[in-house]
Structure 1
Amino acid sequence: MSLITKSINSALKQLVHRSLSTSASQIRIYEVGPRDGLQNESKFVPTDIKIELINKLAAAGIKDIESASFVSPKWVKQMADGVDVMKNVPRAPGVNYPVLIPNLKGYDTAKQCNIEEIAIFPAGSEGFSQKNLNCSVEEGLKRFKLVADQAVKDGVRVRGYISCVVGCPYDGPVHPKGIAKITEELLAMGCYEVSLGDTIGVGTAGSVRRMLREVLTVAKPEQLALHFHDTYGQALSNLLAGLEFDIKTVDSSISGLGGCPYARGASGNLATEDLVYFLYGLGLNTNLDLIKLIEAGRYISNFLGKPTESRVNRAMGDKFKNHQDIVTMASCEL
């Protein structure tokens, strides 16, 4: 390993460990592949394939797996089998299986499926709110408050997503103050966490930092999650910027699956395999088995008939059979 490589690796570790305490160095990975990852796929994924993917992710050690959506099948056909998925997926001990909820009707349907956590999803821009929710940002928040109020009353955990937190395909750059205001409203509704989504992947470390500085005036780091798409190849650098603020929850999607039907050109989410490799390189423990994640990524990519979008998955091939060997490789330590 060259002196330059060692120097860069050391600098990255020091940067992150300055903001992560020794007692809380573990990063929580929130897997969105079975829902956000698959929702834009044109080839319908049968219920049994979705369930097997979820099982493989749980077997790899992931504790939060967003598993289904209860939006209208008219708009997102891929998610039409949400009830079947949630009623038939085996619940592994200690694993959370949240679902996406658009309105009270969707919530009422989801309640039939023994759910413990839901996610609501206002937009960070007016243009995207109109396309995605067919209403203004304000009206969307009012609708989601009805859902959140009922869920809190029922003892169901509520997570909030905000889409387009730095840029919108219709409105252009998004002002950080608006994202902070929506974050504040979601927390007031009872959301235990707000996931900040760069839905079209236009963010950079600079724009992400500016957004986070504003959001952190109304929220604590432990109330936030990072959700980056990799359209411009900036997801990991944006993640590093977020880690500087002591945010420890990161959304990702197996095999880099994803995209949004209302954000043309937006590529998939940050790949879970790439995220895990990156974090191991920083010396941060995820307690996940990367070999099993790679197998899960290949399972769904093979079904879809397309190559994985995970660079780590492509690069690994069949090079490693032992998880510890991958950790050593990622750390580049002798």
Structure 2
Amino acid sequence: MRWLLRKDLLILRRSRLLVALLVIYPVAIALLIGLAISRSPSRPRVAIVDETPPGQTVQVGSERVEVSQYTQHLFSQVQAVTVRTRAQAVGKVKSGEVLAAVVIPPDIAARLSTGIRQAQLEIIYNGDALQQSLVQSQLGSALAQANLGFSERIQRAAAGVLALLLKGGNLGVIGAPPDLIGLGQIPPQLHAIIARQPPGPDRAALQRIAAFAEFAAQNLTLSRNVLSTVGQPIQVRSTLLHGRRTPLNTFAVVVAVSVSLMFVCVLLAAGGVALEREEHVLARLLRGPPALVSREGLLAEKGALAALCAFAVAFAMLAGVSAFVPLDWSRVGLWLLALALGALAFGALGVAIGAGAREV
């Protein structure tokens, strides 16, 4: 067994160009596959479940906007597939007909109209790292645009209310008293009343109220800056049907390294066994006398050598790719275990292919 392994290593050492091609070819193919995976299509298919009543509108200040108007704008960047129920949407996601599903709850208009509570959308993914990453960027961009549109309307409505509170007038809100006095009008009127009051506790109390009114009127204009923080009226609640969240770059690295491991291992193991058969070395080794190596020993040596070489290439590739893609090196032990098991499995596959091959 030792001499057979030494012979194979010497063959690899003499055939440097062949070894280089054996490594470069699968690595190049694997990198191209990983690059293709990391690129997403422009408009993924997404199931839409709109549970809002037809014609429902959102009250933002004095304006009313139909929910369907924002729905069309929100999903303009995806291929929308309309379904009636959440169960149908989940079924389409599981079957692969769509990459994700978005559920619009029936209370979204009421939440948006309050301007206080966040509206919430549910996005359903199937847990596949590739498909999940393809649709997240499009939906995230569309949601950001919808949030921006609602935020601008809410800010304009709130700015108008603040101006009325400062100057006075009719708010136009049900339950609000007509012709309200503005905060800017309160300090002068209070000072006029204070001037007619004799010294005492009542006058001191009025002076404190006047000071507060002046402070509130002077700083109310700053509230418009606070309105700029209203940036996310619609919130997303993600539902993962199965699997785990995996970054697309990491998924592409896994595919590239696995393909390289498979190519190197299968080609080397199959070529080694086929070479022994073509040169009739296998028959001489098995005939003896005495037999220098058993059939099982020869196959084990070819598979182990291929697995060892492929393991080294795959780990070197993984280390090289980590310079460009951030990887969690705390899991390196699991990586080594997965690479070792994969190399042994691909080595066995290569030996089986080589045993059935007629020539190298």
TM-score when normalising by structure 1: 0.20
* Structure with the larger helix share: 2
Which entry has the higher C-alpha Rg, 1 or 2? 2
